[in-house]
């Protein structure tokens, strides 16, 4: 099957619009609310997503810029790795449920800065722009057999479109988390 970059882009934009309009409009207290000290506030969730981008954006950039251009009439077939399929499956929320509870790596822990609402949200939107640009650049490239590093261990590498998907299902998972926090607060 052909890689569906348009769908990736649309999903990415949906997440961007949610953070920008729905989360961005929340009052200060709601953004920083958490049910107990061990849980994250909505703002901390966004900060976590930023830390993920910090780690991944350069990896995408390197993999995509080194790839040759796709020639006319050439299409990029979907490829996947075993670890990629498992990770995407586990990450993907099912409806409102997040299965396979997991703890994040220390280096992805959010920075807690309740006062820095605008900085955190603006940084997310900036990262999202870069991420979307990378999807658009990738559309024109022949990424066949090109793998990129992940944060899941030195030996775990994903194909580039697969990694886009991984990042997006991970974000979906956290959108569900934010919706859950807001639900709890009601």
Residue 177 in the binding site for other proteins (CB under 8 A): no
Residue (of 176, 132, 184) closest to 22 by Cα position: 176
Q: Which stretch binds other proteins (CB under 8 A): 14-22, 55-63, 83-91, 117-125?
A: 14-22
Least distance in angstroms from the C-beta of 80 to other proteins = 16
Pairwise CA distance, residues 75 & 140, whole Å: 10
Contact set for other proteins, span 21-80 (CB under 8 A): 73
Residues in the interface with other proteins (CB under 8 A) total: 16
Helix (H) or strand (E) holding 159: strand 157-159
Least distance in angstroms from the C-beta of 114 to other proteins = 29
Q: Which stretch binds other proteins (CB under 8 A): 8-16, 92-100, 117-125, 146-154?
A: 8-16
Residue 137 in the binding site for other proteins (CB under 8 A): no
And the tokens for 72?
């006319």
State the Cα angle at 112 between 111 and 118, rounded to 5°: 90
Residue 132 in the binding site for other proteins (CB under 8 A): yes
Least distance in angstroms from the C-beta of 17 to other proteins = 5
Residue 126 in the binding site for other proteins (CB under 8 A): no
Least distance in angstroms from the C-beta of 73 to other proteins = 8
Pairwise CA distance, residues 178 & 6, whole Å: 26
* Residue among 28, 136, 184, 185 that touches other proteins (CB under 8 A): 136
Pairwise CA distance, residues 69 & 74, whole Å: 10
Q: Locate tokens 């399929």: which residue? A: 85
Residue 17 in the binding site for other proteins (CB under 8 A): yes
DSSP notation for 88-157? HHHHS-BTTB--S--PPPGGGPPP--TT-HHHHHHHHHHHHHHHHHHHHHHHTB--TT-EEE-SS-TT-E
Q: Which stretch binds other proteins (CB under 8 A): 10-18, 29-37, 39-47, 112-120?
A: 10-18
- Contacts to other proteins by CB under 8 A: 4, 6-7, 9-14, 16-17, 73, 132, 136, 139-140
């Amino acid at each position: 099957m052909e890689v569906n970059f348009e769908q990736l882009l649309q999903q990415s934009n949906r997440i961007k619009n949610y953070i920008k309009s729905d989360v961005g409009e929340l009052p200060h207290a709601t953004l920083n609310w958490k049910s107990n000290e061990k849980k994250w506030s909505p703002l901390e969730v966004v900060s976590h997503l930023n830390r993920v981008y910090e780690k991944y954006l350069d990896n995408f950039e390197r993999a995509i810029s080194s790839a040759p251009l796709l020639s006319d009439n050439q299409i990029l077939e979907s490829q996947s790795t075993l670890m990629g399929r498992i990770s995407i499956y586990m990450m993907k929320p099912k409806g409102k449920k997040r299965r396979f509870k997991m703890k994040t790596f220390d280096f992805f822990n959010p920075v807690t800065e309740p006062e820095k609402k605008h900085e955190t949200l603006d940084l997310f939107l900036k990262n999202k722009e870069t991420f979307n640009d990378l999807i658009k650049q990738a559309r024109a490239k022949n990424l066949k057999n090109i793998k990129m590093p992940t944060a899941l261990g030195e030996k775990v590498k994903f194909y580039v479109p697969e990694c886009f998907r991984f990042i997006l299902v991970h974000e979906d998972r956290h959108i569900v988390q934010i919706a859950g926090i807001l639900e709890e607060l009601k």
